[in-house]
Amino acid sequence: MTTPVTEAGIRERLDRVRENLAGALERSGRGAGETRVLVASKYYAPEQIGALAAVGADLLGENRAEDLVQKQEMFGDAFEWHFIGHLQRRKAKIVAPRVRLIHSVDSVRLVEELAGRAPEGGIEVLFQVNVSGEESKYGVGEDEVERLLEAAAGTGGRVRARGFMTLAPLVEDPERVRYVFAKLRTIRDRLRGSWSPHFDLSELSMGMSSDYEVAVEEGATVVRIGRMLIEEDGPVRRQDGS
């Protein structure tokens, strides 16, 4: 866990993220407000979460079920909560009733588990796609995505697919991972028409501190920002989710 800088520091960096985001939306001919900023809360101890509310963050994404519980006990009402980390099936019952959206669903068995654990009205999910094929990444290959959609369609509305999430490989130059984001959008566009009777696949969760501007240019509707808010010298990539 990294200790965040001061509240003023976080505020300044969040403002910068929002400015850069607005620029990326404009450059790509998208409307202002088409992309939300999710703050990755894993870098903050529970007692530090209040600083995020104070600077106007309204959407948090947590990586660990236990941390989610702890942080929500203290600041549950201050944010919309999502889950962005790898989700083990045995933790589904903890996470499912507590978040609006799970970004990281990547197996049929997890879909089935979530169907049994979803609150009244069901749970919304994104399917995590391993676009780059990096071995260290969670997520399914493009050819497995349809199986997940079929599994969700089989839950009778208890698990509702809203789109897709991806993690890009770690690189210095974000232009080198532009293809990853473009590919995820292409996958979504291909599936969107045929699945529209079942699901509104409008969400693309892609882009982190080091590559979010490129992701926005390629159609991200949610960027997941961590390091950028707490590091003095710009983003340092960390993806391990711990």
Ligand X SMILES: *Cc1c(COP(=O)(O)O)cnc(C)c1O
Q: Which is nearer to ligand X, 17 or 118 (CB)?
A: 17
Q: How far apart are CA 100 and CA 173, in angstroms?
A: 33
Beta bridge partners of 163: 126, 203
Q: How far apart are CA 166 and CA 178, in angstroms?
A: 12
Q: Is the dihedral of CA 163, 143, 83, 96 positive or negative?
A: positive
Concatenated DSSP letters for 6-35? -HHHHHHHHHHHHHHHHHHHHHTTPPTTSS
Residues that bind ligand X (CB under 6 A): 40, 42, 63, 84-85, 208-210, 224-228, 237-238, 241
> Could you tell me what percentage of the chain is helix, strand and coil, using 3-state DSSP and rounding each to the nearest 5?
45, 15, 40
Residue 225: CB minimum distance to ligand X, A: 5
Q: How far apart are CA 53 and CA 59, in angstroms?
A: 9
Identify which of 85, 97, 67, 95 has the alpha carbon closest to the alpha carbon of residue 128: 85
Q: Which is nearer to ligand X, 49 or 195 (CB)?
A: 49
Sequence-distant (≥ 6) Cβ neighbours of residue 50 within 8 angstroms: 74, 75, 78
Q: Which is nearer to ligand X, 85 or 219 (CB)?
A: 85
Which residue has the closest beta carbon to ligand X?
A: 226
Letter for the amino acid at 127?
F
Residue 167: CB minimum distance to ligand X, A: 6
Residue 42: CB minimum distance to ligand X, A: 5
Query: Left (φ > 0), alpha (ψ -120 to 50) or beta: where does 171 sit?
Result: beta
Residue 193: CB minimum distance to ligand X, A: 28
Q: Which is nearer to ligand X, 103 or 158 (CB)?
A: 103
Residue 177: CB minimum distance to ligand X, A: 12
Residue 224: CB minimum distance to ligand X, A: 3
Residue 40: CB minimum distance to ligand X, A: 4
Q: Which is nearer to ligand X, 17 or 195 (CB)?
A: 17
Q: Which is nearer to ligand X, 181 or 195 (CB)?
A: 181
Q: Which is nearer to ligand X, 64 or 185 (CB)?
A: 64
Identify which of 220, 229, 157, 153 has the alpha carbon closest to the alpha carbon of residue 188: 220
3-class DSSP assignment, residue 65: helix
